Structure 1
Amino acid sequence: MRGIPMKHLATPWADPETYLKRMQPDHPVLFLSPAVLQGTARRFQTGFPGLVSYAVKANERAEVLANLDAAGLAAFDVASPAEMRAVRAINAAAVLHYNNPVRSPAEIATGVDIGVESWAVDHPSELKKLDKVPRSAEVTVRFALPVAGAAYDFGEKFGAPPDQAVTLLKEVAAAGWKPALGFHPGTQCEDPQAWAAYITEAARIAGRAEVRIGRLNVGGGFPAHRAGEAPDLTGIFQTIGTTAARAFSNTRPQLVCEPGRAMVSEAFTLATRVKSQRDDGRTIYLNDGIYGGLVDLRDIGLPGRVRAISPDGKPRSGRRVARRVFGPTCDSLDRLPDGLPLPSDTAPGDYILFDAMGAYSIALSTGFNGYGVRNVVTVLGLAGHSREGD
């Protein structure tokens, strides 16, 4: 598969603006740049001091998986049998990490049949379910800490307290699996010290359990460029590497990460269209909303990388005005957080382009009221692309 990045892609357009001017779509369109996606993958591979495993949940489209495979990624974090099959359809030899720590017996059986090589647990009852998993597999004990720095915390749902993680790690080693530790600092985490705190605690847990772990999964949570300056991924990578070396000394495990949002966000731009504008000039209706490709904005807030173009492809350049934005459905909850800044000369029929929208857009889009994101168009470049992703 590698070396054939265009297998799942149609003939690309030059850029979103060219497509919109020519085709005048009245539905939301997601534009993909394979060059940006593969560039981001290479950045992680060269910058992160360990194995890079893509979190498929962020965007499981065949175009995404094929381009990551072509860029050399060989490991994928899967959370369900459907994601396992999606990866296997692209690369039958890919390494699968099943890091969703809560599974049904049927899901575990499927994982065994498909050949999952790494499993995660965060509770004794879940560890017992893995009895039929081959002892040649890795079992990662996932733990959680009350660490700030992310847009929202994953620790409320997953992760054992450190004391319980010590006990679980001992049981994993005693049962004969390859013991490992893992955590997730939370989504859109821009503070390197969150990783430092977790890595330091991981060393303590391993020491208290008297178990030498083969790998430490430092999770995802790497921030995408949503507004202002691009996040300092290089600084985060360096903090992870230096902290692991200091905390584990001569027993440092191999490091693993599982980026989702930061891997795919930059490679996509979402184009929506203004359906209507009220006379107040501050309220607009788009052909997409929180039941479609903009669902993530409800929880993570408005992005700063938004622009408007007229139907003939010309950028709107008026001063920015905070808008109240509704989606196209008949549900009054279909509304973005207030204050989306758009040019004052934005008008009905214009296209509103949201950059860095590859994660949790099409993956979470519904078909409610007949709306939602369904189209992905391949382009050679993205005008709003952050060069930090190269």
Structure 2
Amino acid sequence: MARPRSFADARAVAAALRPSYPVYCLRPHVLARQARRFLTQFPGEVLYAVKCNPHPLVVDALYRAGIRHFDTASLPEIAQIAETYPEARSYFMHPVKGRAVIKNAYSVYGVRHFVVDHEAELEKLLEVTGGEGLTVMVRLVTPPSEGTLYHLSAKFGAEPREAAALLQRAEGAGCRAGLAFHVGSQCLRPQAYGIALGLCGEILAQAGVAPVAIDVGGGFPARYVEMDSPPLADYFQAIRDGLKALRLSPTVEILCEPGRALVAAGCSLLVQVQLRKERQLYINDGIYGSLSETVDAGIRLPARLIRLEGPAPAEATLDFTLNGPTCDSLDVVPGTFELPADIREGDWIEIDQVGAYSNALATHFNGFFPETFVTVEDASPAFAEASGASAA
């Protein structure tokens, strides 16, 4: 894999490239730091959720930092991991899969961990694979948690009675059986994991099955503007406490599937102002590109101005609306961004905390597609606090 150009920081990127196109400024050292935090503090195996950001540079930085297990939810993701890192292990964590996809994952790529949340999916899995060597993870519904960005049990998950029956059926078919759950993306309440683990205990007692694995899923938060989250240590402690109450055998595998918390701080986005209309700024990326998560999720991203020539930016600030580059009038980033009052055409804006669900969700709509990556060596600063320029 070709290494991208490296720069000291986003300002150096702007000075060298003078880009009129969006540029992702990747910080592999930040990704490595986050990976090490999970690997040293989480009480089990750490599976990176590839869907969060599947870019080869991102995945490679995590692999180099020690991540060897991957939450994969499609055959292309499984292929990406298996064909790049033969020693890594993929886990098929999508509860609904096509038969051909199951066959290829099992027979071609050697996947042995599969998630199910319905009797028909379990029967499909057993029919296609024969069940030999399978670890079947039964995904259960978890109650909504206040402060969670996306509640993920509306689409997936078995109710407790159904989950108990699925465990019994999987074990009866000769498979290794376990439980999985997901408390929701960007979960701001560590106790949500304890509640979900308590539900696991009830289901295991009802099923009379000794699990071989418990997967606590993802949901670990990143830090965004006006969305303070508890420290990761609080989440790990809540999980330890919940596991202790289950009195599991020491041989039980404990898994987690972080995505956002691993990669959000590892990338910023350099965009350019193409036109200013009063307090409206027209930039070269938007909600059909890197900034789609700002729409429904309410995520607000820190930002700062970069100006290479002319007078220094004004100390006074104003709230500006950022308009994306497409001709669609919906292409407007929600909320406003507090930036120097004299911001003008040609200035650049560095938008931070975009490592999660940015390039992964970008479209080709209207001919625009952000795809340029460079690496930068500086830290991932909290621009809102350090420079006074922030999303508001």
TM-score by length of 1: 0.92
Deviation at 1:313, TM superposition (A): 10
Against the structure 1 CA distance between its residues 197 and 277, is the aligned structure 2 distance closer, same or farther, given a 3 Å change threshold?
same
Q: Which amino acid aligns with 1:129?
A: K
Q: Does 1:12 align with 2:20?
A: no
Contact kept, 8 Å, 1:21 with 1:313, in 2: the verdict is no
Unmatched segments (≥5 aa) in structure 1: 1-6
| Residue 266 (structure 2) aligns with | 267
Q: What's the secondary structure of 2:247's corresponding residue?
A: helix
| Residue 3 (structure 1) aligns with | none
| Residue 191 (structure 1) aligns with | 189
Deviation at 1:166, TM superposition (A): 0.9
Question: Residues 288-341 of structure 1: CA distance to partner in whole angstroms, max 9, x if unpaired?
Answer: 001101111112224242111214499845344332221110011111113233
User: How large is the Cα RMSD of the aligned pairs?
Assistant: 1.9
CA distance, structure 2, for counterparts of residue 314 and residue 33 of structure 1: 29
| Residue 346 (structure 1) aligns with | 343
Q: What's the secondary structure of 1:180's corresponding residue?
A: strand
Against the structure 1 CA distance between its residues 62 and 352, is the aligned structure 2 distance closer, same or farther, given a 3 Å change threshold?
same
Q: Does 1:301 align with 2:298?
A: yes
5 Å-filtered alignment, 1:212-361, equals 212-227=210-225, 229=228, 231-246=230-245, 248-251=246-249, 253-278=252-277, 281-312=278-309, 316=313, 318-361=315-358
Deviation at 1:161, TM superposition (A): 1.1
CA distance, structure 2, for counterparts of residue 68 and residue 385 of structure 1: 22
Against the structure 1 CA distance between its residues 338 and 29, is the aligned structure 2 distance closer, same or farther, given a 3 Å change threshold?
same
Q: Which amino acid aligns with 1:73?
A: I
Against the structure 1 CA distance between its residues 383 and 77, is the aligned structure 2 distance closer, same or farther, given a 3 Å change threshold?
closer
Q: Which amino acid aligns with 1:341?
A: E
Q: What's the secondary structure of 1:223's corresponding residue?
A: coil
Deviation at 1:231, TM superposition (A): 4.0
| Residue 143 (structure 2) aligns with | 146
Question: Residues 127-181 of structure 1: CA distance to partner in whole angstroms, max 9, x if unpaired?
Answer: 1111133421211000112221311111111111111111111111111111010
| Residue 94 (structure 2) aligns with | 100
Q: What's the secondary structure of 1:119's corresponding residue?
A: strand
Q: Does 1:124 align with 2:122?
A: no
Against the structure 1 CA distance between its residues 347 and 241, is the aligned structure 2 distance closer, same or farther, given a 3 Å change threshold?
same
Against the structure 1 CA distance between its residues 383 and 20, is the aligned structure 2 distance closer, same or farther, given a 3 Å change threshold?
farther
Q: Does 1:69 align with 2:63?
A: yes
CA distance, structure 1, for counterparts of residue 267 and residue 67 of structure 2: 19
Q: Which amino acid aligns with 1:365?
A: A
Against the structure 1 CA distance between its residues 185 and 153, is the aligned structure 2 distance closer, same or farther, given a 3 Å change threshold?
same
| Residue 15 (structure 2) aligns with | 21
| Residue 4 (structure 1) aligns with | none
CA distance, structure 1, for counterparts of residue 211 and residue 380 of structure 2: 45
CA distance, structure 1, for counterparts of residue 14 and residue 229 of structure 2: 27
Please say which of residues 310-319 and 67-76 is displaced more in the overlay: 310-319
CA distance, structure 2, for counterparts of residue 273 and residue 62 of structure 1: 25
Contact kept, 8 Å, 1:267 with 1:385, in 2: the verdict is no
Identity %: 37
Contact kept, 8 Å, 1:95 with 1:117, in 2: the verdict is no
Against the structure 1 CA distance between its residues 315 and 18, is the aligned structure 2 distance closer, same or farther, given a 3 Å change threshold?
farther
Question: Residues 249-274 of structure 1: CA distance to partner in whole angstroms, max 9, x if unpaired?
Answer: 24463321011111111110111111
Contact kept, 8 Å, 2:188 with 2:229, in 1: the verdict is no
Q: Does 1:58 align with 2:52?
A: yes
Contact kept, 8 Å, 1:50 with 1:257, in 2: the verdict is yes
Deviation at 1:47, TM superposition (A): 1.2
Question: Residues 327-357 of structure 1: CA distance to partner in whole angstroms, max 9, x if unpaired?
Answer: 1100111111132333323222111111111
Q: What's the secondary structure of 1:363's corresponding residue?
A: helix
Contact kept, 8 Å, 1:266 with 1:385, in 2: the verdict is no
Q: Which amino acid aligns with 1:264?
A: V
Q: What's the secondary structure of 1:348's corresponding residue?
A: coil
